[in-house]
Amino acid sequence: MNELANSVKWVWAVSVLLQVTLFALLFLRSNFKRLPVLTLYMAMNLGQAASILYLYANRHLSAQTYDLVPWVSEAVTLVFQALAASEAIHLFLRPYRGIWGLTWRTLSFICAVLLAYIVKHTAGNYHWARLEADRGYHLIFACAVIGCFLLMRYYSVAVPTPFKLLLAGFCFYSCTMVLVNTVFQDMLYSKVTGYEPIWQFASVFSFALVQVVWLVALYQPLPADRRRVIPSDSLSQELAPEIDARLRMLDKTLARLWKFEVRS
Amino acid sequence: MTLSFLAFSGIAVLLLLLLIVLLRDPERHAWLESDRDAAESGHRHVTFFAQIRQALSTEDHEFLAKRGSQRLARRVAKERRKIVLAYLSHLRNEFARLWKLARVIAAMSPEVAAAQEIARFRLGVAFYLRYELIRLKFILRRGPIPELAAVSEVVSTLAIRLETAMSSLGERAALAAEMASTLNRGGLHTR
């Protein structure tokens, strides 16, 4: 395991400091009660940083340990990242039961399709398996968050700013990780000597940026959960079919108009 | 540069751009603002169809060309065409309002059927595509007025029946008001 470059050490120190501040802020503003999984995710990040620090401080460990620990801790952290993002989405969608049901079904479908595509795309590429898995995960994750934002926009559900910033932070980090891993694999690895510090710096710096965004998001307590009056099924049963039928009629009329235009 | 590099970096950049667009507040469409007054005063654009048909009647054009000059007839026809295009645009706005109302109802419903939502989404996309094609053709040459009458009638009936249905839900008047204000505000708010 090589020594970390000075620039990487600095940005890493700043990132850890930001993580500690954020972790403390979650408790100070009592946001940990509503975001327990995010709090756990932050704890995981700090644990990961501590484990890497331990590896760099102890030079007598086996090569396998140096190889395995960072990736295992990364995998565990990524699982908690997905859970934390789901928790945030569930929290602001709780008043919209139907939309929440539709959202998680849609996102599961998107994730399954992307997973199948990525497995097919990377099959046999064992040399890059871990990096490919990491990139694939981030790609799926970013697509899921964007899909969620699109659904919210379509249904005119206003996402409260703290949740919006939290999800944007997750998405931004995943997108930059896809970019960083792609550039690393396709350009730096074979063409640039001493590529590792560049890759490390880019990864840690993007994560530090996300921490700043999250600090802004969680600086205040989260907005109170306003329970919406959810009407019984009868409202949608009365109105929705009526609207749908009329929208269809309108569309058919336009279709006839189009045919008329083509003929004339 | 490999295909994989281009594909992955392209998707990542595209997602970042999409994120920036989606983080911005939804634009308040001008048509929603302008349409609100008409909706609140109980008038719908579709009710002016008779005047629009009159504006494009060939009799008027022939009369002007015969009694006045060709130049005057062309000028009047041009002005009237502008009015018809504006009218067509308002018809689309009526559709958009109803489409949005359907989505608001879905958002507030305890159960949302994915198949129904997908069908409605496809319907909306198809409608807008057709509308744009028809509008384009209408801009290029004279449009088919009798068919416009049918469109107008459907929108008008839909608006009236919806209003009746909404008002019949007396005990849910507060909810209906909230939905209407949501439509005008351009979003549902949880805060």
- Tell me whether residues A230 and B109 touch, CB distance under 8 A: yes
Please report whether residue A1 resides in a domain. Answer: no
Spell out which residues of chain A touch residue B172, defining contact as CB-CB under 8 Å: 231, 235
Cα distances (Å, whole numbers) of residue A186 to A181, B11, B131, B135: 8, 15, 45, 48
On whether both A257 and A128 belong to a single domain, the answer is no
Residue B191 — very low, low, confident or very high, per pLDDT cuts 50/70/90? very low
- In the prediction, which pLDDT does A236 show? 66
Residue B31 — very low, low, confident or very high, per pLDDT cuts 50/70/90? very low
Nearest CA in chain A to B128: A251
Number of domains, chain A: 2
Burial class of A254 by CB neighbour count within 10 A (0 to 12, 13 to 18, 19+): buried
Please report whether residue A226 resides in a domain. Answer: no
b/e burial code for range A205-215 (CB count within 10 A of at least 16 → b)? bbbbbbbebbb
> Higher confidence at residue A262 or residue B135?
B135
Residue B5 to chain A, least CA–CA distance (Å): 6
Mean pLDDT calculated for residue range B168-175: 50
pTM: 0.74
Give the residue from B137, B135, B171 showing the smallest Cα distance to B151. Answer: B135
Best A131, A257, A260, A262 member to test B by mutation, with max B CBs in 10 Å, is A257
The answer, yes or no, to whether residue A213 has pLDDT greater than 90, is yes
b/e burial code for range B65-75 (CB count within 10 A of at least 16 → b)? beeeeeeebee
Rounded (5°) CA angle A26-A28-A30: 65
The answer, yes or no, to whether residue A39 has pLDDT greater than 90, is yes
What string of DSSP letters covers chain A?
-PPPPHHHHHHHHHHHHHHHHHHHHHHHTTGGGT-HHHHHHHHHHHHHHHHHHHHHH---S-HHHHHHHHHHHHHHHHHHHHHHHHHHHHHHHTT-HHHHHHHHHHHHHHHHHHHHHHHHHHTT-GGGHHHHHHHHHHHHHHHHHHHHHHHHHHTTBPPPHHHHHHHHHHHHHHHHHHHHHHHIIIIIHHH-TTHHHHHHHHHHHHHHHHHHHHHHHTSSPPPP--------HHHHHHHHHHHHHHHHHHHHHHHHHHHHHHH-
Residue A164 to chain B, least CA–CA distance (Å): 7
Residue A85 — very low, low, confident or very high, per pLDDT cuts 50/70/90? very high
> Higher confidence at residue A95 or residue B145?
A95
- Tell me whether residues B154 and A249 touch, CB distance under 8 A: yes
On whether both A140 and A244 belong to a single domain, the answer is no
Which among B105, B190, B191 has the least Cβ separation from residue A236? Answer: B105
- Percent of chain A's residues with pLDDT above 90: 34
- In the prediction, which pLDDT does B34 show? 45
Q: Tell me the count of A-B CB pairs closer than 8 A.
A: 223
Which among A95, A182, A223 has the least Cβ separation from residue B9? Answer: A182
Residue B42 — very low, low, confident or very high, per pLDDT cuts 50/70/90? very low
Which among B13, B22, B116 has the least Cβ separation from residue A153? Answer: B22
Mean pLDDT calculated for residue range B108-124: 82
Spell out which residues of chain B touch residue A243, defining contact as CB-CB under 8 Å: 98, 101-102, 105, 158, 162
Mean pLDDT calculated for residue range B32-59: 54
Residue A95 — very low, low, confident or very high, per pLDDT cuts 50/70/90? confident
Which among A92, A143, A183 has the least Cβ separation from residue B15? Answer: A143
Average pLDDT of chain B, as a whole number:
69
> Higher confidence at residue A153 or residue A97?
A153
The answer, yes or no, to whether residue A37 has pLDDT greater than 80, is yes
Please report whether residue A87 resides in a domain. Answer: yes
Residue B13 — very low, low, confident or very high, per pLDDT cuts 50/70/90? very high
Q: State the Cα–Cα distance between residues A85 and A141, nearest whole angstrom.
A: 9
Instruction: Give yes or no for a contact between A36 and A22, defined as CB atoms under 8 angstroms apart.
Output: no
- In the prediction, which pLDDT does A64 show? 79
pLDDT digits (tens, 9 = 90+) for A218-252: 998 888 766 555 555 666 667 777 777 777 766 76
DSSP state of B188: B
Which among A156, A186, A256 has the least Cβ separation from residue B4? Answer: A186
Which of A45-49, A128-132, A168-172, B173-177 shows the highest mean pLDDT? Answer: A168-172
- In the prediction, which pLDDT does A264 show? 45
Residue A150 to chain B, least CA–CA distance (Å): 7
φ/ψ of residue A157, rounded to 5: -90, 115
Other residues' Cβ atoms within 10 Å of the Cβ of residue A69:
16
pLDDT digits (tens, 9 = 90+) for B58-88: 677 677 777 777 777 778 777 777 776 777 7
Domain boundaries, chain B: 26-185
Q: State the Cα–Cα distance between residues A102 and A141, nearest whole angstrom.
A: 18
Please report whether residue A118 resides in a domain. Answer: yes
Q: State the Cα–Cα distance between residues A58 and A55, nearest whole angstrom.
A: 5
On whether both A32 and A80 belong to a single domain, the answer is yes
On whether both A59 and A154 belong to a single domain, the answer is yes
> Higher confidence at residue A257 or residue A17?
A17
Please report whether residue A126 resides in a domain. Answer: yes
- Lowest mean pLDDT across A8-12, A29-33, A244-248: A244-248
The answer, yes or no, to whether residue B160 has pLDDT greater than 50, is yes
On whether both A126 and A199 belong to a single domain, the answer is yes
- In the prediction, which pLDDT does B181 show? 59
On whether both A176 and A262 belong to a single domain, the answer is no
Cα distances (Å, whole numbers) of residue A67 to A48, A50, A61, A155, B26: 14, 16, 10, 46, 47
- Tell me whether residues B12 and A142 touch, CB distance under 8 A: yes
Q: B169 — contact with chain A (CB < 8 Å)?
A: yes
- In the prediction, which pLDDT does B162 show? 58
Instruction: Give yes or no for a contact between B39 and B97, defined as CB atoms under 8 angstroms apart.
Output: yes
Q: 3-class DSSP state for residue B68?
A: coil
- In the prediction, which pLDDT does A227 show? 56
- Tell me how long chain A is: 264
- Tell me whether residues A258 and B134 touch, CB distance under 8 A: yes
pLDDT digits (tens, 9 = 90+) for A135-188: 888 999 999 999 999 999 998 888 899 999 999 999 999 999 999 988 887 776
Mean pLDDT calculated for residue range A125-141: 80
On whether both A107 and A236 belong to a single domain, the answer is no
Which among A92, A171, A247 has the least Cβ separation from residue B19? Answer: A171
On whether both A236 and A135 belong to a single domain, the answer is no
- In the prediction, which pLDDT does B41 show? 42
Domain that holds residue A215: 6-221
Other residues' Cβ atoms within 10 Å of the Cβ of residue A109:
12
Best A132, A139, A145, A155 member to test B by mutation, with max B CBs in 10 Å, is A155
- Tell me whether residues B104 and A178 touch, CB distance under 8 A: no
- Tell me whether residues A257 and B161 touch, CB distance under 8 A: no
- In the prediction, which pLDDT does B43 show? 47
- In the prediction, which pLDDT does A99 show? 86
On whether both A203 and A248 belong to a single domain, the answer is no
On whether both A190 and A136 belong to a single domain, the answer is yes
What string of DSSP letters covers B88-124?
HHHHHHHHHHHHHHHHHHHHHSS---HHHHHHHHHHH
